[in-house]
Amino acid sequence: MKLFIHTDGGARGNPGPGAIGVAILDEKKKIIKEIGKYIGKSTNNEAEYKAVLEGLKAAKELKGSEIVFYIDSLLVVSQLNGKFKVKEPRMKNFFNEIKIVEKNFESVKYNHIPREKNYIADKIVNEVLDTI
């Protein structure tokens, strides 16, 4: 089953209170799962990586086989696609964990999209942050 996953992560203050937002859509582009979580103090990049990891774990539970991500962080997309190196040790840990979880799928693709096209995941992040 092909799944389309929109993810976003944010931290107010960077670092500051952080949250993730994940929206998983089926092949008909219907939302089948939404995840919003407070992740404590984090940076924006940490939150972005945690959102991807959460999306992959949920896709595994949903028995997805082909995973297509839509992410508004060009840095994270470039790193996950191997175009940029991951130098920061904490980010490298997230990166390595994601690469291990990716092995559960036939394919995983990461696409950069403008922030305004990632409104579903962005809305989830802001809803979580507005409650703390």
Residue 36: what pLDDT?
A: 98
Report the C-alpha gap between 18 and 77 in whole angstroms: 19
Residue given tokens 């995973």 in the structure block: 67
Q: What pTM, to 2 d.p., does this model score?
A: 0.97
Report the C-alpha gap between 6 and 130 in whole angstroms: 20
Instruction: For 81-123, write each residue's pLDDT tens digit.
Output: 999 999 999 999 999 999 999 999 999 999 999 999 999 999 9
List of residues 6+ apart from 116 with CB closer than 8 A? none
- Output the six-digit token pair for 28: 């008909």
Query: Distances in Å between the alpha carbon of 96 and those of 35, 70, 100, 101, 102?
Result: 22, 20, 6, 9, 10
Residue 30 — very low, low, confident or very high, per pLDDT cuts 50/70/90?
A: very high
Q: Position 100: which residue type?
A: I
* Average pLDDT of span 57-79: 98
Instruction: For 71-87, write each residue's pLDDT tens digit.
Output: 999 999 999 999 999 99
